[in-house]
Structure 1
Amino acid sequence: MTQLPPLPAAGNLWRTGQLRAAGLNSRAVRQLVSSGGLVRLRYGCYIRGALWEKQSASLRSVQLIHAHAYGTLTTSTGGFVYSHTSAARLHGLFLWDVDDLIHLLFRVRPSCERLGKDIRGHTRPYSDAEVITRATLRVTTLERTTVDCALMLSYRQSLIIMDNALRLGADTSLMQAAADGLAGQRGIRNLRAALANADASAESAGETLTRELITRLQLPKPEAQVEVRSRAGWHRLDFAWKDKKVALEFDGKVKYFDYKPTAEVLFQERRREKALTEDGWFFVRVEWKDLFREQEFKQRVLTALRR
């Protein structure tokens, strides 16, 4: 069995030149990639395989952006700005069903050959006030990022980002002013609809999609993030029809946020539900798959409300 060449002791992310300087020629790099010791993130940039394996899907998406910056020697004085869903990831916004393409904002449109297959270039005019620096990278502001995403993505994807941006403190007036100046722009209807229907109380993409589905199916509107008291203390419900004592809880947070709840968290959650059930509450629990079985979802809610 051929012994694999050792990786550099220091660091986890390397450009091709750095690997060569550490004594790894092209053949050695290919061997390491084939064995999983190295993972090629993009042309000319590699990450330690053991680190990549440990990263969640959301963290990997952010890592790809940093790999682009590292591989192209980008610094805070670079000639472009990370924008759209790339900026959304760097701001920590929720994203749903979005690819890992890297989006860059330029003053002047560059050639496609220069960008590469994993890059999308944009040139909608921007001001210096719409650019900030995050972790040494030039990124569009929270408001500009949210507007750009809403112009590019579907309505539901846009609503998720808008909800989360408001929760993180985005200025609605700035986004509304931007929308007012974009009449006729592709995607403007999505942007306006997302602005009109956004709710900063949503704590996950799943909660946003649940609210959107309830509205679209013309179901009775519940209150969001409802606080109720039981013998076990105060509890906050994702959605509730208080007059009917019906609660709707979205159970997809574990899958979406790439973490597993502790046994204590699960125990307390079930303890809370038991206490509220004793007080006459009825629970409708929703998972990701339920959001795409719309008529079944509608019937479950209506049955609960009629009980």
Structure 2
Amino acid sequence: MARIITRSQALTDGFTDSELRRFCRDGTLTRLRRGAYAGARDIENLTDTDRHLLVVRATMARATAPDTVSSHASAALLHGITLWDVPLGTVHLTRNRRTGGRRGQLRTVHASPYDPDEITEVEGLRVTTVARTIADLACSLPFEQAVCAADDAARRLGVLGTEVAAVLARRPTRNGHARALRVARFMNAGAESVGESRSRVLLHESGFVVEVQRMVHLREQISSRGLLPARVERGGRVRRAREVRPPRAHG
């Protein structure tokens, strides 16, 4: 991980503010956020994930409110959860309060109450637990992106949909609560990749009941009616997802 250079450290080492500005202009340093820099060569080959995590650390180092924790996408990456199609341009923080959230260019502060058991520590940073993180993502992301994150967390970190639902039950009036419950009920540790998670969502939204423990890799098959029912593996046997037809109108 690239080293974070703070303004105070640089001044202590004998550099001036004008020199820091010049280093940023000539490409020697890259400004991560106000008062925090990194060597441009140190970060030029970082992935979007690693760069985001570097900015998270720089941001948390300057957080003065004791109730500030990393949350949402930032917490997911700290836990090692794979995200798909989720913007990483801003750091997500949560304060333990009901009002006062704000969105800036580099960080989003969520005002959202949390309980002590919904907070843990990852690499020295206070962060929402895996279950709370998935609940936050499920409340704020589209269904497909949230399912991709939830499936990955279930498979690699062992979080259960019932645990996510229990977190959501603590605050039933929260924005996005109903959508998040769908994610908690739909998430499945059997999906082995983002592609399989997305396939599950596609089949579900196309009217199929996907009872999946572990999906089988298949090439796409297109018929005159669209995507053919996907084969899934359940209990060691390969089956086909069932299409659910709408009930006939009566009367």
TM-score, normalising length: structure 1 = 0.64
Q: Aligned pair count?
A: 228
Amino acid at match of 1:96: W
Asked if structure 2 preserves the Cα contact closer than 8 Å seen for 1:142 and 1:170, the reply is yes
Pick closer, same or farther for the CA change 1:25–1:135 going to 2, 3 Å.
Answer: same
Pairs within 5 Å for 1:131-210: 131-167=119-155, 168-210=157-199
Distance between the aligned counterparts of 2:206 and 2:98, measured in 1? 42
- Does residue 92 of structure 2 align to residue 103 of structure 1? yes
For the residue of structure 1 that corresponds to 2:44, the secondary structure is helix
Q: Which moved more, 1:213-222 or 1:52-61?
A: 213-222
Residues 285/20 of structure 1: CA separation in 2 closer, same or farther (3 Å cut): farther
Q: SS of the residue aligned with 2:120?
A: strand
Q: Which runs of 5+ in 2 are unaligned?
A: 230-239, 241-251
Identity %: 27
Residues 74 and 92, structure 2, Cα contact 8 Å, conserved in 1? yes
Match of residue 66 from structure 1: 57
Counterpart residue type for residue 202 of structure 1: A
Kindly state the Cα deviation for residue 123 of structure 1 after the two structures are TM-superposed: 2.9
The Cα shift of 1:222 comes to: 8.6
- Structure 2: which amino acid aligns with 1:149? L
The letter for the 1-side match of 2:16 is: N
What amino acid is the match of 2:69? V
1:219 is displaced (CA, Å) by 5.9
Preserved contact between residue 4 and residue 36 of structure 2 (Cα < 8 Å): yes
Pick the aligned partner of 1:44 from 35, 48, 59: 35
Question: Contact (CA 8 Å) 1:107, 1:123: kept in 2 or not?
Answer: yes
Structure-2 change in CA distance of 1:207 and 1:177 (3 Å): same
Cα distance change of structure 1 residues 171 and 208 upon mapping to structure 2, 3 Å threshold: closer
Q: 2:82 aligns with which of 94, 118, 128?
A: 94
Gaps of 5+ in 1: 1-10, 226-238, 241-246, 249-283, 287-294
1:109 is displaced (CA, Å) by 6.3
Shift of 1:23: 3.0
- Supply the RMSD in Å over aligned alpha carbons: 3.2
Q: CA deviation at 1:34?
A: 2.3
2-structure distance, mates of 1:92, 1:218: 32
What's the CA shift for 1:177?
Answer: 2.0
Deviation at 1:135, TM superposition (A): 0.8
2:71 maps to: 83
2:135, 2:164 within 8 Å by CA — same for their partners in 1? yes
Q: Which residue of 2 aligns with 1:33?
A: 24
Q: Would you say the 8 A contact 1:14–1:46 is kept in 2? A: yes
Give the deviation of 1:173 after TM superposition: 2.9
- For residues 199-243 of structure 1, the C-alpha deviation after alignment (integer angstroms, 9 at most, x for no partner) is 112233222112211322346859664xxxxxxxxxxxxx43xxx
Letter of the aligned partner of 1:50 in structure 2?
R
- Secondary structure of the corresponding residue to residue 186 of structure 1: coil
Deviation at residue 130 of structure 1 after TM alignment = 1.1
Q: Structure 1 residues 297 and 124, CA, compared in 2 at 3 Å: closer, same or farther?
A: farther
Higher helix fraction: Structure 1 or Structure 2? Answer: 1
Between Structure 1 and Structure 2, whose CA radius of gyration is higher? 1
CA shift in 2, pair 1:69/1:179, >3 Å:
closer
